[in-house]
Amino acid sequence: MSHQQPAHFIDGEWVAPLDGGTRTIINPATGEAIAVVAEGSPSDVDRAVDAAQRAFRAWRKTTPRERSLALEEFAARVESRKEELIQQEALNGGKPLFGARWEIEDFVIDGLKFFAGAARHLDGIASADYQAGRTSSLRREPLGVIAGIVPWNYPAEIAAWKIGPVLAAGNTLVLKPSEGTPLSALLLAEIAADCLPPGVLNLVLGDGVVGAAMAEHPGIAGISVTGSERTGVAVAERAARNLKHVDLELGGNAPVVVFSDAELPLLIETLRMGTFYNAGQDCTAATRLLVHASVYDKFLTAATAMTESIVYGDPLAEGNGDVEMGPLATEVQRERVDYFVRNAVAAGSRVVTGGRKVDGPGYFYQPTIVDKVRQEDPIVQEEVFGPLMTVQSFESEEEAIMLANGVRQGLSASVWTQNVGVATRVSNELDFGTVWVNEHLPLVSELPHSGHKMSGYGHSMSRYNLEQYTSTKHIMVRHDR
């Protein structure tokens, strides 16, 4: 059997789903079917967990160097097939090629290489006699089988963010891609088949039913979810039943705080990507513009011109090489974005530009700006997850901080000013896991990407992510007799 047939990847082999389920995968830029894949059930999860538990017995005993070399080899093989991965991400995710390339090169490959190195650099307190006659040492041990649950907006990138640290720390993995975007994960599993021991990386396809089975499976020691707030809460509740380690990387709703001295041309150019990258389906997307009243009109004029110049279309269609923005991932997601806009307009908001579904095939939505919104409106309070920014004005630093922090989410934010005092004070006050100053969007493998408040807990990337897939053990040896 191969992954060309509907199959999971378990114990180093392609296996048919136990109940024969399948799912048709759609290209969101055209609405056309592009593949038929396996649709799993809880019994497939049982099978994958068994394999991962068996593989854990040997994998946990490998040295950091051995795991590092295995991940390096995996990263090298991924790199040698990166063009295929880029195509898959563009086809299945409706991503412009430049974006798919960025994600594969800067996050998938670099992330795997980073964790290959980090595997050899776990930190800890020095071994010493902290009590007379007794030597204490600290071991960091892998947790066991980890479940990794991936969303549809960055299918390969977030799969790599699970594979790298989980395996580097000596755990084994059961990975579940999003049901709509499994193609790049299938390719990653195909690559793993040739270089990782059987059972170390397993792939089970399916929807929330499969995810829920993972969340409550007693054989899984930890679960890492990147997804919506609703899924995060559901997983945390289920996982609590057997006290799994839980890592939640959930939705954002990023404010962009623009003071009167902000460098407007830089800001506008940054929002081109910050707001509209991946059609706004980005947990860190610059969605809530909070602009000082003195520069509000100037900002709105420039932001509108930029928004109206965004080139969108089917990234893979002939002659569409300059497309910056693709479609939304599904018709449901497009309807959701449209609902927020209609609802805001009904409540008195103004569509400055865009605000409509694009006629024709695919799930396109116009790049959109909405202003005259109130802080309590759903379009401000919820993560819309579309090519859209709302704009509000503020008069004082205090008001800006209040508006910025006045949502449930706390993933990322940015501050725009040339005054170092304002930049430092405001970034200290913002209750978000990442704060950029005069920048918005870049992340690096070395630093954590984490949420505050309802954006979750735990870390993606960085050595803090590696540590969270380990437990500490204190060993004290008495040697005075």
Active-site option among 179, 216, 249, 467: 249
Binding ligand NAD (rule: CB under 6 A), the pick from 176, 217, 244, 292 is 176
Q: Which of residues 276-305 bind ligand NAD (CB under 6 A)?
A: 283
Contacts of 436 (CB under 8 A, 6+ apart): 412, 413, 414, 415, 442
- 232 vs 315, which CB is nearer to ligand NAD? 232
Binding ligand NAD (rule: CB under 6 A), the pick from 150, 185, 200, 415 is 150
Q: Which amino acid would we find at residue 96?
A: P
Binding ligand NAD (rule: CB under 6 A), the pick from 188, 235, 430, 466 is 235
Contacts of 8 (CB under 8 A, 6+ apart): 14, 15, 16, 17, 38, 40, 44, 47, 48, 202, 203, 204, 205
| 249 is annotated as an active-site residue | yes
- Scanning 40-48, 107-115, 175-183, 353-361 for contacts with ligand NAD by CB under 6 A, the matching segment is 175-183
- Scanning 36-44, 80-88, 246-254, 422-430 for contacts with ligand NAD by CB under 6 A, the matching segment is 246-254
Binding ligand NAD (rule: CB under 6 A), the pick from 460, 462, 465, 468 is 460
In whole angstroms, how close is the CB of 480 to ligand NAD at the nearest point?
A: 50
Q: Please state whether beta strands 388-394 and 368-371 pair in parallel, antiparallel, or not at all (unpaired).
A: parallel
Q: With contact defined as beta carbons under 8 Å apart, do 29 and 327 qualify?
A: yes
Residue number, nearest CB to ligand NAD:
211
- 155 vs 355, which CB is nearer to ligand NAD? 155
- 351 vs 384, which CB is nearer to ligand NAD? 384
- 154 vs 340, which CB is nearer to ligand NAD? 154
Among candidate residues 270, 275, 269, 264, the one with its CA nearest the CA of residue 299: 264
Sign, Cα dihedral of 347, 394, 413, 401: negative
Q: What are phi and psi of 466, to 5 degrees?
A: -60, -45
In whole angstroms, how close is the CB of 298 to ligand NAD at the nearest point?
A: 30
In whole angstroms, how close is the CB of 321 to ligand NAD at the nearest point?
A: 26
Tell me the CA distances in angstroms from 201 to 16, 59, 65, one per residue in order: 17, 11, 18
Sign, Cα dihedral of 136, 139, 140, 142: negative
User: Is residue 252 a contact residue for ligand NAD (CB under 6 A)?
Assistant: yes
- 333 vs 470, which CB is nearer to ligand NAD? 333
The neighbour count for residue 266, using CB atoms within 10 Å, is 12
- 11 vs 249, which CB is nearer to ligand NAD? 249
Q: What are phi and psi of 139, to 5 degrees?
A: -105, 140
Tokens standing for 374? 């109130």
In whole angstroms, how close is the CB of 362 to ligand NAD at the nearest point?
A: 18
Q: With contact defined as beta carbons under 8 Å apart, do 42 and 213 qualify?
A: yes
In whole angstroms, how close is the CB of 277 to ligand NAD at the nearest point?
A: 12
Residue with tokens 């299945």: 92
Q: Which of residues 179-198 bind ligand NAD (CB under 6 A)?
A: 179
Binding ligand NAD (rule: CB under 6 A), the pick from 153, 270, 278, 462 is 153
412: which strand partners?
A: 434
- Scanning 4-12, 22-30, 35-43, 171-179 for contacts with ligand NAD by CB under 6 A, the matching segment is 171-179
- Helices assigned H by DSSP within 277-388: 296-308, 331-346, 378-381
User: Is residue 152 a contact residue for ligand NAD (CB under 6 A)?
Assistant: yes
The neighbour count for residue 76, using CB atoms within 10 Å, is 15
Please identify every residue annotated as catalytic.
249
Given the rule CB under 6 A, which residues bind ligand NAD?
149-154, 176, 178-179, 207-208, 211-212, 215, 226-228, 231, 234-235, 249-252, 283, 383, 385, 411, 449, 451, 460
